[in-house]
Amino acid sequence: MGRRTRPDGGRDPDGEMAVAVVQAALLVPGCRSLKEKRSVVKGLVERARNRFNASVAEVGGQDLLQRCHLGAAFVANDRGLLSSEAEAFLAYLEGCPDVQLLDRQIEIL
């Protein structure tokens, strides 16, 4: 099965799968131990998984005291929906009082 893209970025009538990959660098201020940071990040990851029905994980910065890198993956057959879900996920992170969004990246495959 070859990769087909539509110029308008919309739904593929053949049902092709599209994937959005989101990477976010976060600051977790106020943590005085890795255990405390892991507790904050674990709760954030669980809430994000439940809210967005996405695969979310801490993918970097595990040994850094106040830094964290999250990765999320969304799957759908509508690129527009993927883009809005990825943006909503990042907006959710920006609104979380426990963390600060430092950097972000969205890639739609």
CATH code: domain of residue 63: 3.30.70.1120
* pTM (2 d.p.): 0.82
Please state the domain count of the chain: 1
Hey, how many other C-beta atoms are within 10 angstroms of the C-beta on 1?
6
Residue 70 belongs to some domain of the structure: yes
Residue 97 belongs to some domain of the structure: yes
Percent of the chain at pLDDT > 70 equals: 86
Hey, how many other C-beta atoms are within 10 angstroms of the C-beta on 89?
23
Residue 12 belongs to some domain of the structure: no
pLDDT at site 53: 87
Hey, how many other C-beta atoms are within 10 angstroms of the C-beta on 41?
22
Residue 80 belongs to some domain of the structure: yes
10 pLDDT tier (thresholds 50, 70, 90)? low
Find the mean pLDDT for residues 80-109: 95
Give the residue numbers spanning the domain of 31: 18-108
Residue 7 belongs to some domain of the structure: no
Residue 35 belongs to some domain of the structure: yes
Rounded to whole angstroms, what are the CA distances from 31 to 1, 39, 98?
Answer: 48, 10, 10
Rounded to whole angstroms, what are the CA distances from 80 to 2, 3, 13, 17, 102?
Answer: 21, 17, 14, 13, 25
Contacts within 8 Å (CB) and 24+ apart, 93-97: 93/24, 93/26, 93/44, 93/48, 96/44
Q: Are 72 and 55 in contact (CB under 8 A)?
A: yes
Residue 4 belongs to some domain of the structure: no
Residue 61 belongs to some domain of the structure: yes
